[in-house]
Amino acid sequence: MFTGLIQALGTMTPLGDDSWQITFVSESSVVIMQDLAYGDSVAVDGVCLTVEEVLKDGFIATASPETLRRTTLGNEQTQQRFVNLEASLRVGSKVGGHFVMGHVDGIGRLLRAEQTASSWEMTFNASEAIARYIVPKGSIAVNGISLTVAAYEPELSQFAVAVIPLTYAETNLRYLVPGSFVNLEGDILGKYVEKFLYPAKTNHQVADEISLDTITPAFLTEHGYL
């Protein structure tokens, strides 16, 4: 489990079809490297990977076929690009973002990025598998970064986030251009609520039935929310 607060930047060098060498490139990487060990979990652009070998300035990890299919790790854009890194959450640590599992739901694309007086406004698209967990002012992980949804347009399958200068400067968001692929993970709380309310439904059936119009005070009371 992670928090979505990025600790360092790194680069990924492919060692084969499913294995990579992740090399730390930022000074802040000491936070991860100081006690990194074989078998540890590290979020790489939001993807939970297991450390198979610790190197002097990084580590080696392998991804499963499912991970390659569902994330940007299986995309050529990943090779030799900057990636966000975060070590797994330790008991007693602060949770400054939100609970990020490192289990990516799917891939989105940056549509546009506009600088404002106080932040960067970035708009992404999202497939239906991800979009049903997007809630205005709720949380979403983009390349492993915990961000707040500023606006959501379901008819266009788009959502926007406001990125503060610190996050923009310390993560790989600053390297994205329109069309860049990103890993997206919806809030785990929404997934559990969906499962409890519709235990026998398929994902497609749930997506067809849940809408803002159906979530009324009466609906919440009926399902135990007073």
- Please check whether residue 162 is in contact with residue 130, taking contact to mean a CB–CB distance below 8 angstroms: no
Residues 12 and 132: their CA atoms lie apart, in Å, by: 31
Residues 121 and 10: their CA atoms lie apart, in Å, by: 24
**Amino acid 202: pLDDT:** 56
**CB hemisphere CA count around 17 (13 angstroms):** 3
- Please check whether residue 89 is in contact with residue 95, taking contact to mean a CB–CB distance below 8 angstroms: yes
Residues 124 and 109: their CA atoms lie apart, in Å, by: 5
Domain ranges of the chain: 8-87, 189-222
- Please check whether residue 118 is in contact with residue 83, taking contact to mean a CB–CB distance below 8 angstroms: no
Q: What is the pTM of this model?
A: 0.84
If we measure between CA atoms, which residue out of 54, 159, 142 comes closest to residue 98?
A: 142
Q: Running along the chain, 226 residues long, what does each successive block of 10 average in pLDDT?
A: 94 89 92 93 96 96 92 72 91 81 94 93 92 90 96 92 95 95 91 78 56 64 62
Determine the Cα angle at 184 with ends 180 and 190, to 5°.
155
**Amino acid 80: pLDDT:** 55
**Amino acid 149: pLDDT:** 95
Residues 183 and 103: their CA atoms lie apart, in Å, by: 10
CA of residue 85 relative to chain centroid, distance: 11
Residue range 8-87 forms a domain whose CATH class is mainly beta
CA of residue 149 relative to chain centroid, distance: 13
Residue indicated by tokens 């991804």 = 63
- CA 32, 29, 119, 78 torsion: positive or negative? negative
